[in-house]
Structure 1
Amino acid sequence: MSRLRSYRDVADLEAMAQLVAQAWAERGPHVECTVGDLTWRLLRNAQVRPQEDIALWECAPGQLAGFAWAYSNGDVDLLVQPLAQADAFARDLLPWVRARHGRTPQPTTVWALESNGSLLAALRSLGWRRTTGGCYLHLALPLQAPAPRPELPVGYRVRQVRGPEEVAARALVHRRGFGTERMTTEVYARLMEAPRYQPALDLVAEAPDGSLAACALGWLDEANAVGEFEPVTCAPEHRRRGLGRALLHEGLERMRGMGARQAFVYAFEGNPASVALYQSAGFTVVDRNIGHTLESP
């Protein structure tokens, strides 16, 4: 008998990571997220409340088969594995979704991959319809022969973060790139202590004056030999100088050296600059994550 319960602790996070890894082993790259995404989503700001934001779905006692992750903007990410459980998963999860976001003013949007026909059919049968607000592109790149290294502007260099002594500067370049105040020094310090954080994949572009101009954080699913970038950004005054592409190149080479056979990244369809950056580095679209809203009665 299936059951739905709230997230409890890091043991649940590890179970979720194992489920994501299983999904990648079976149907990668057509999976809603990567193992690294879970750590990033949990620690990317101080507003995450996992016991309230995450619901776990067990198809039998102690057998995790899916989860939903809700965000303050009304979005809800879904993952079910195996896909044969999609219909039962949706029936059990969507009432929780409606209750969870019934307390917020934002419209609720649940996300499902275009390739996940089972989940899409389950959503449609329960009255959820595709939104018109754009989708998230899932882009992949096989890691085969090394690519030529992009040329950096004079005085710039790409390197990994030096360590805890640079955490304030690392958090600052993230805030400046995304125009958000959520990534505080304390939040980033906590992220750097996470088990799946790898300093060798935390990359920055240093400007001629020694300040940080851009950043890219990489994650690695060793079991499936998959590397991912999440997030990538550049401070406004340093844009259009090739820094993002240089960071991606360095990250790809490091991922390759760590055993990754493919790399993965997301880009919002409505952000052409982001899409163009990843495509210029060789990434191609392999799937789309599509939003759905509940049809009015």
Structure 2
Amino acid sequence: MQGLAQQVTALRPELLNADATVGELAWVWSKDFDALSPFWRHRLWLIDGKLAAWGWVHLPHRIPRGDGTFREARAANLIWQTHPDQPELLHEILDWYDEAAGGVDQLLAIQSADRAAQAIIPGHGYVFDAEAGADDGSWVQFNRRELTDLPDPVLPDGFRFVMAKDVSPAHAVKAHRDAWQSSSFSEAAFERVQHTWPYRGDLHLLVEAPDGTLAATAIIWLDDATQTAEFEPVGTHQAFRRQGLGTALQAYGLQLAKAAGAKLMLVACLGAPAHPAARNMYYGVGFQPFSHDLPQIKTVR
């Protein structure tokens, strides 16, 4: 699946589907495997022995989060990708999705630049999801930045950058959960992340506060084959927000990615106008949008 992502990145990056980049696949698979794998279904389509398309269905589920709440999905959701030369395989993916979903409402996303997918999905019963795609919805925007003319990172006095390889797994996990307090991320999940290509401990960046708190965190996923890197995830401890830590983290991360051999950086964020914080931070370090989700829904129940 990551190999197909490499091909799409090299040929038509604007067609990369949500959660289908090299880094996003690594992150979602590794962090959620223990909790969500019983609710996952996968299928691969090969042509002449080479992967031409894949589908990954998330079935409805209800699992506990770290803060005592529950992560719940009442509809099925499809992540998918086709090779740019085989867009017609989306028909087969959607037929399989109907079977795998088992009679519940079905969600998926297509990209704003993917004209072939936009022509295919209405015939399978999908319509634009007006709630998810609204100005306060959950749709995702992809952003890119060439790794030239990079800004200098500036941290507040007393703060410093550290790498995940230089802190304990427990502290790295706590930094993530301090940024996303409802997360169920665990040391076991982090161990799986560490063993999932292309994770590198020297590209997992954190910011340490003067009191020793790990106040911000970001993982950089580097694909040497396409010389492309991606931030996923990026977050700041709730007690340390609005101090410029996210911007400094991004600026330093861009420099690290370039030094490691990347020429292009990607990052995804919420794209809706009602959710400007992350988007504005990325714009502030030179990212520009190049694609976004068009969320779709098929009401079955």
TM-score bracket, shorter-length normalisation: 0.7 to 0.9
Partner of 2:50: 63
Distance 1:75 1:53 in 2: 11
Partner of 2:2: 17
2:50 pairs with 1:54: no
Partner of 1:86: 87
Pick aligned residue for 1:137 from 137, 141, 144: 141
Encode CA deviations 1:64-112: one digit per residue, 9 max, x unaligned.
1111122353332121003x4222x2221113323333366xx421111
> Residue 161 of structure 1 aligns to which amino acid in structure 2?
A
> Residue 285 of structure 2 aligns to which amino acid in structure 1?
A
Partner of 2:223: 221
Q: 1:232 to 1:103 in 2, by over 3 A?
A: farther
Per mean C-alpha deviation after superposition, the further-off stretch among 48-57 and 230-239 is: 48-57
Instruction: Return the offset for 1:253.
Output: 0.3
Instruction: Return the offset for 1:252.
Output: 0.5
Distance 1:287 1:52 in 2: 26
* Conserved 8 A contact 2:14-2:111: no
> Residue 283 of structure 1 aligns to which amino acid in structure 2?
F
Q: 1:24 to 1:251 in 2, by over 3 A?
A: same
> Residue 277 of structure 1 aligns to which amino acid in structure 2?
M
Q: 1:59 to 1:293 in 2, by over 3 A?
A: farther
Pick aligned residue for 2:108 from 107, 110, 114: 110
* Conserved 8 A contact 2:198-2:223: no
Instruction: Return the offset for 1:51.
Output: 8.9
Give the secondary structure class of the aligned counterpart of 1:98. helix
TM-score (norm. length: structure 2):
0.85
> Residue 58 of structure 1 aligns to which amino acid in structure 2?
L
Give the secondary structure class of the aligned counterpart of 1:197. coil
Give the secondary structure class of the aligned counterpart of 1:180. coil
Give the secondary structure class of the aligned counterpart of 1:92. helix
CA root-mean-square deviation? 2.1
Partner of 1:155: 158
Partner of 2:64: none
Partner of 1:100: 100
> Residue 28 of structure 2 aligns to which amino acid in structure 1?
R
Distance 1:225 1:277 in 2: 23
- Gap runs ≥5 in structure 2: 61-72, 134-138
Give the secondary structure class of the aligned counterpart of 1:290. strand
Partner of 2:188: 186
TM-score (norm. length: structure 1):
0.86
Give the secondary structure class of the aligned counterpart of 2:87. helix
2:285 pairs with 1:281: yes
Instruction: Return the offset for 1:44.
Output: 1.3
- Gap runs ≥5 in structure 1: 1-15
> Residue 45 of structure 2 aligns to which amino acid in structure 1?
W
Give the secondary structure class of the aligned counterpart of 2:168. helix
Per mean C-alpha deviation after superposition, the further-off stretch among 39-48 and 231-240 is: 39-48
* Conserved 8 A contact 1:34-1:221: no
Distance 2:47 2:262 in 1: 32
* Conserved 8 A contact 1:30-1:286: no
> Residue 19 of structure 1 aligns to which amino acid in structure 2?
L
Instruction: Return the offset for 1:176.
Output: 2.0
* Conserved 8 A contact 1:158-1:246: no
2:233 pairs with 1:231: yes
Instruction: Return the offset for 1:214.
Output: 0.9
Q: How many residues align?
A: 275
Partner of 2:63: none
Give the secondary structure class of the aligned counterpart of 1:194. coil
Q: 1:21 to 1:255 in 2, by over 3 A?
A: same
Instruction: Return the offset for 1:26.
Output: 1.1
